[in-house]
Structure 1
Amino acid sequence: MRRSDRKRRDPDLGVLSSRLLFAVQEELFDTLAQQGHDQLRPQHGAVLAYLDPEGSRAVELALRSGQHKQVVGKLIDELEALGYLERRPDPADRRAKLVVPTTRGLDQMSRSDAILARIDERYAEALGADRYANFKQTLAEVTERQRAWRTGLPPEPA
């Protein structure tokens, strides 16, 4: 039996999670493009998905997303050039910079939240609210345990 046949019949956690990620990203970014945010790419989610509306430090975005600081820095540069965010002095520490969403960035964040809420609603309806809530809770726990295993830190509560 070829390995690809086995993966189709009994996909492992990596295959399943990547299929889910890519399908959700495709719907999210296609819908955002239809709503006027056509310059965004899925890679930008490593910043936008973790950005606080009041701003975040780049190092926090790297930690939250699990990306290297250099990758996050490049994405911040791109998003700043596209008008989605700006760097400002951090009022808590003038030596540090905050990455703050612009009006365009806040619009994208709001639209993304609405699109992802519709996806959640669709699956809650298709699978049943309790079953879908259990799935999300289990997926969150598996994800946190995997991240904890990779970092050596104890898992955070789901």
Structure 2
Amino acid sequence: MSRSGPDLALLLLGGFRTMVDAATSGLAELGYEDVRPAHDFALRAILAGADSASELGRRTDVTKQAAAKTIAVLEERGYVTRAADPLDRRRMHVHVTPRGRAMLAAGERILDEVCRQWEQRVGAQTVTALEAALRDLVGTEGVSLASPGWVATSTDV
């Protein structure tokens, strides 16, 4: 083994952080200066069916209160809306707005550009091999949307 487990973990985290930082700054340049990485996880979970604070909390592995705060912030910033359930007016459903979808799409384009830059730097075969190796190691399910619990670096939502 040419490198220790902790070194490899830090390199993987560094790669993630490099991509996230590029997406965050790129989104800010496009007028989305108010988004954080945890917002992406929340919006993706909402698109996947987490339409309440309770469900968002379960899917992102945060408390219901933290999920409710995230929803409130996302609503204030125009990324989601809440609407009453037609069958139970006490229940609110959360929906991603066109602005939220546009921000997610812009972030995806930025991350695709980071991948292209990495391919230019180390070669497309190397990036393809890295992706294939990571899929073999972590599985085809990808990363859980429950990552905000350990990704969060501050109390800023």
TM-score under structure 1 length normalisation: 0.65
Report the counterpart of residue 7 of structure 2 in structure 1.
Answer: 11
Q: Distance in 2 between matches of 1:129 and 1:92?
A: 52
Q: Report SS of the residue matched to 1:87.
A: strand
Report the counterpart of residue 51 of structure 2 in structure 1.
Answer: 57
Q: Distance in 2 between matches of 1:90 and 1:125?
A: 49
Write the deviation string for residues 10-63 of structure 1: whole angstroms up to 9, x where unpaired: 7141x22322222222111111111011111233222134442x8643456445
1:41 matched to 2:36 = yes
Q: Distance in 2 between matches of 1:135 and 1:71?
A: 34
Q: Distance in 1 between matches of 2:91 and 2:34?
A: 28
Report the counterpart of residue 102 of structure 1 in structure 2.
Answer: 97
Report the counterpart of residue 151 of structure 1 in structure 2.
Answer: none
- Assess if the C-alpha contact under 8 Å between 1:55 and 1:100 holds in 2: no
Write the deviation string for residues 71-100 of structure 1: whole angstroms up to 9, x where unpaired: 333211211111111123568998865421
Q: RMSD over aligned Cα, in angstroms? A: 3.4
Q: Distance in 2 between matches of 1:122 and 1:93?
A: 50
Unaligned runs of 5+ in 1: 1-5, 149-158
Unaligned runs of 5+ in 2: 145-157
Report the counterpart of residue 154 of structure 1 in structure 2.
Answer: none
Could you tell me which amino acid in structure 1 is paired with residue 134 of structure 2? L
Q: Given the superposition, is the C-alpha separation of residues 38 and 142 from structure 1 closer, same or farther in structure 2, using an over 3 Å criterion?
A: same
Residue in structure 2 matching 1:116, options 79, 96, 111: 111
Q: Distance in 2 between matches of 1:83 and 1:70?
A: 20
Q: Given the superposition, is the C-alpha separation of residues 123 and 68 from structure 1 closer, same or farther in structure 2, using an over 3 Å criterion?
A: farther
Higher relative contact order (CA 8 A, sep 6+): 2
Aligned-pair CA distance for 1:136: 1.7
TM-score under structure 2 length normalisation: 0.66
Of stretches 56-65 and 115-124 in structure 1, the one that deviates more from structure 2 is 56-65
- Assess if the C-alpha contact under 8 Å between 1:56 and 1:100 holds in 2: no
Q: Given the superposition, is the C-alpha separation of residues 128 and 100 from structure 1 closer, same or farther in structure 2, using an over 3 Å criterion?
A: same
